[in-house]
Chains A and B, each alone.
Chain A
């Protein structure tokens, strides 16, 4: 038995030793090397005025693959878009469906070893956050240069907005008939008692979509005015959903008279043959900007940059509007009949979603306190 105890002791000691080995030692090692002094010569580049040519420049094949995060496409359309990109550049595209929050968490968690190359879609707020954390890298490609200054792009090139998503009122004609009402055309209409228990909107505490509405109303009516408005509207609200697109879907299915969602989501429901009316407010609608940015340390950088440029071509923007109905950010895209462009919708004057992002915590907390927690 003595032998045995000894064995245990030795084993224990060995184990302890193997455990104790990797202690962090901080030491400085001096390494000297010649620094190559680079002389940066500013070569004046003649910036050519961009001439829109029918045939876009034949791209050089890049090959390899490209992983997109975010991706809010219909699978069928996705196939078409990726195939055309693959045909042009020889790059195989994989797209991972995820909401902005999922994408953000993933990119943060994977920051040491990025699995994706591009965050494609999701609201610009994610892109702003990622840039602030140093998780994306600047790229002032041809797309970025095409965009006007203002809310649709980052001045330093960290992200660029490739679509506007505008809020809209989805109305069920059947349900409206049952309650004997019309589809509203202004925010004030929503206060009409005829809509009692018939409005569905996402909770700003749960959905970025609904925060777009809250911040837009704040821009429109002032902060106190917006909360006063919402408190009155609250009497007509049947439920605050947790998903931003659910209200539009519920109205399309005829469950409730009015659902407040993104107009492009409502139009997609129309495309599928559901009887749903889409109205906008005369006072102006809030909107989001869908952004695109390249991840810091992207494994397929060349393909990522090519993709970003590709997204800002007129053909892509046109196709995106035809199928997903989101409004192009670059000028001069001819739209399919029946879809909305910027000229068809009144946006809220002076509204910039990026600016409002900073107030999100405070406004959502106030909303919770004054409205959400009272239900």
Chain B
């Protein structure tokens, strides 16, 4: 393509120029690598042993490698492997992009996880090397077998229901003419703005054994929300908004042409819906299944609060690591958790990569309203209203709880709970710094990777995609431990810095922006980019002027998602924050565990208000309406 491009008058032939650029690049890379390599691995003389003869003491020194030679070797491979591809050698920009992506993923995804695996395989603290003893013991424990089974039950049920409801809601709110769509859309995705464990907390206040609705209003006694039903319930509340966002992004950008063609050919609206509309959103649906499955099996906060002792892999991994001091068994359980996630990911990947889903073409028309028979339209509308109303009650109860003396007993209005928040201001500031940086950088990284993986062809693309998406499948606790294991020792000393938390959030929450970007890209006809290239624009210019504007929705999806998840994350935070970088959610969870519902509610309420304000600011800055930020 590039070779055929008409070029401006020049002294060098295009091939010469290509080679010069290539040589310069290689030189810069070698310099960088030597610079980084010598910092990552150093040989130091350390004291080996001492010998005292008379009044003379001899100190024997020994050279010791500080740092990880294995990591440096991996990084070198990451630079060298893409050079083997002729296709990449011909396009320096693409080459550097691939190399950068590989290096970042090695540093911040593969290496920390490898460290967890090494730890998980260690049979005991004093045994060096690898052994399968831990895994054998693992499958002899009835708890492990049961936890694995329970985890699958919760994951599959949540993924199925969340995607089903999410698809119906997304369809109703994006493509039909039901009233109040703007408001419904905002309210349906409301749970995205709070930490997942706040949902459990509010559900127990409302529907628990002493819940305001179940006990006080309906008078139901001897019923319990604790258990698998409670877990599925709260997980659905957290995952449905995500499903709605992912699927409605595709509905919104879907061209009307295909459906019109089907209708013109005499297809019944329902038939068109089934055979044309839904197949077009397949990638988004599978993404929704994948993310809600992974989200529900890797969360530990909700099952801890509402599970009533129902054992799941994530909670058991958390307990083994945090309560039982058994890092090895915990890491091993974490590895078990990774397996179903990776299987789900592989399956989704296989299915979506087989077909083409182009719907945005040069002259596309999008966002037209579909006519549906009333008996379908109004029940769908009812579903959306129910979800919205439910969320209003749920979050309303948090605000009411924060404003009263003691939820459940004394409903006198008071400001005591709000005053209790003053001590948490520094932690709030820390959380904001982390979330804003991670959001913006993460949005850029995800859009960059989406372009690379979704659009470019190069060897090893699937592996890159796999590594980038993998992190979402890893429980936050495992991520936290992995980062500490990988980057606390010399020569890094990154723990206790904002840097490590920000990086962890970027790479842990990358997949949403990435998958939204790829899903959106699958619908953009490559001819748009090819036209730009053929007209002589460089690949970089094509990206900034054609691809990026088309992907901006996915970019904002990434920014908002990472920002919100960083503000509300608990599981990685407990490991990665430190004296000077203490985060708000860590304080909040502790308050929920040790204090009264009302004090905890004040924390949750403050966090929700801050996120809403931040979204408001973001909407001002970007010029998008508040609703558009949510619509993605």
Contact = CB atoms under 8 A, between A and B. Distances in A.
A102 B309 contact: no
Interface string B24-44: 001000100110010001110
Given A96-B578, A373-B143, A15 B327 contact: no
B325 A116 contact: no
B48 A75 contact: no
A26 B304 contact: no
Interface string A212-234: 00000000000000000000000
Nearest to A265: B594
Contact of A96 (B73, B308, B582, B594): B582
Contacts of A238: 224
Contacts of A246: 593
A106 B595 contact: no
B80 A67 contact: no
B434 to A, nearest CB: 16
A96 to B, nearest CB: 6
A373 B145 CA distance: 11
A98 B587 CA distance: 9
Given A31-B58, A253-B408, A115 B496 contact: yes
B521 to A, nearest CB: 32
Contact of A242 (B23, B59, B210, B319): B319
Interface string B366-406: 00000000000000000000000000000000000000011
B363 interface: no
Given A33-B57, A75-B420, A109 B142 contact: no
A31 B488 contact: no
Interface in A78-119: 78-79, 94-102, 104-106, 108-110, 112-113, 115-116
Given A18-B34, A99-B322, A115 B495 contact: yes
A2 interface: no
Nearest to A109: B484
Contacts of B64: 24
B279 to A, nearest CB: 43
A15 B76 contact: yes
Contacts of A31: 58-59, 61
A145 interface: no
Interface stretch (A38-46, A268-276, A308-316): A268-276
A319 B414 CA distance: 26
A254 B63 contact: no
Contacts of B575: 102, 105-106
Interface string B131-167: 0000000000011001000000000000000000000
A3 B582 CA distance: 56
Contacts of A265: 594
A29 B61 contact: yes
Contact of B55 (A35, A197, A375): A35
A245 interface: yes
10 contacts: A11-B83, A22-B65, A37-B55, A99-B323, A100-B323, A101-B322, A105-B322, A115-B496, A265-B594, A368-B143
Given A22-B43, A242-B304, A112 B488 contact: yes
A274 B596 contact: yes
A75 B424 contact: yes
Interface in A298-356: none
B493 A113 contact: yes
Nearest to A65: B579
Given A12-B80, A108-B327, 20 more contacts: A4-B89, A7-B26, A18-B37, A23-B69, A26-B62, A28-B48, A29-B45, A31-B61, A32-B57, A67-B579, A75-B423, A94-B579, A98-B574, A101-B322, A101-B325, A245-B593, A246-B593, A253-B408, A255-B210, A373-B146
A32 B58 contact: yes
A279 interface: no
Instruction: Kindly state the interface size class of chain A when it binds its partner.
Output: 35 or more
B307 interface: yes
Contacts of A11: 26, 30, 80, 83
Contacts, number: 214
Instruction: Kindly state the interface size class of chain B when it binds its partner.
Output: 35 or more
Given A101-B324, A273-B410, A30 B60 contact: yes
B580 A94 contact: yes
A375 B495 contact: no
B73 A19 contact: yes
Interface in B569-605: 574-575, 577-580, 582, 586-587, 590-591, 593-597, 599
Contacts of A27: 61-63
B489 interface: yes
A240 interface: yes
A194 interface: no
Contacts of A99: 322-323
B221 A78 contact: no
Contacts of B210: 253-255
B406 A273 contact: yes
A238 B65 CA distance: 55
Interface string B170-208: 000000000000000000000000000000000000001
B485 A109 contact: yes
A74 B308 CA distance: 26
A129 interface: yes
Nearest to B318: A242
Nearest to B490: A112
A178 interface: yes
Given A37-B55, A112-B490, A113-B489, A75 B60 contact: no
Interface of B: 19, 22-23, 26, 30, 33-34, 37, 41-43, 45, 48, 52, 55-65, 69, 72-73, 76, 79-80, 83, 89, 142-143, 146, 208-210, 221-222, 224, 226, 304, 307-309, 315, 319, 321-325, 327, 405-406, 408-410, 420, 423-424, 481, 484-485, 488-490, 493, 495-496, 574-575, 577-580, 582, 586-587, 590-591, 593-597, 599
Given A24-B65, A106-B484, A241 B593 contact: no
Interface in A168-185: 178
Contacts of A8: 83, 89
Contacts of B323: 99-101, 206-208, 242
Nearest to B225: A255
A297 to B, nearest CB: 13
A241 B488 contact: no
Contact of B30 (A14, A35, A116): A14
A62 B45 CA distance: 35
A243 interface: yes
A368 to B, nearest CB: 7
A356 to B, nearest CB: 15
Contacts of A243: 304, 593
A97 B583 CA distance: 10
A142 interface: no
Contacts of A22: 37, 41-43, 65, 69, 72
Contacts of B208: 253, 255
Contacts of B69: 22-23
A366 B396 CA distance: 46
Contacts of B89: 4, 8
A254 B408 contact: yes
Question: Most chain-A Cβ atoms within 10 A of its Cβ — which of B22, B76, B488?
Answer: B488
Nearest to A324: B594
Contacts of A33: 57, 59
Contacts of A50: none
Contacts of A48: none
Contacts of B484: 105-106, 109-110
A15 B30 contact: yes
B579 A129 contact: no
A97 B37 contact: no
Contacts of B325: 100-101, 104-105, 126, 129
A8 B84 CA distance: 8
A203 interface: yes
A52 interface: no
Contacts of B493: 113
A2 to B, nearest CB: 12
